Amino acid sequence: MLFKKKGLFTVSDAMKVIEIASRENAKEIIVMCEAIDEEARRRLWDYANGVKLRLMADLIGEQREVRVGILEGYVSDRVKGIEL
């Protein structure tokens, strides 16, 4: 899933992304923004690690992983994604 935000990507934006991604069972989260707050970056990485560890702890046999990619600097209008 691709999320786009013009301006600063904050913690509240990260929480919205996590909520949408967990509802959709996304395997990949890509954030395209001009700048990102360090706390927001940490929230996204913690979510990805939490998904991996929680499912491994359940011993259900399924390994689920969420990849997180952060593209900083430029937000393209041509790329389709969820606007925040």
Parse the chain into domains and list their residue ranges.
2-75
Q: Is the pLDDT of residue 4 over 70?
A: yes
Q: Which CATH class is domain 2-75?
A: alpha beta
Percent of the chain clearing pLDDT 90 (strictly above): 63
Name the band, by pLDDT with cuts 50, 70 and 90, for residue 84: confident
Model confidence pLDDT, tens digit, residues 38-76: 999 999 999 988 887 775 555 556 667 889 999 999 898
If you average pLDDT over every residue of the chain, what do you get?
88
The vertex-56 CA angle with 36 and 15, nearest 5°, equals 25
Cβ–Cβ under 8 Å, residues 36 and 72:
yes
C-alpha 17/C-alpha 31 separation (Å) is: 9
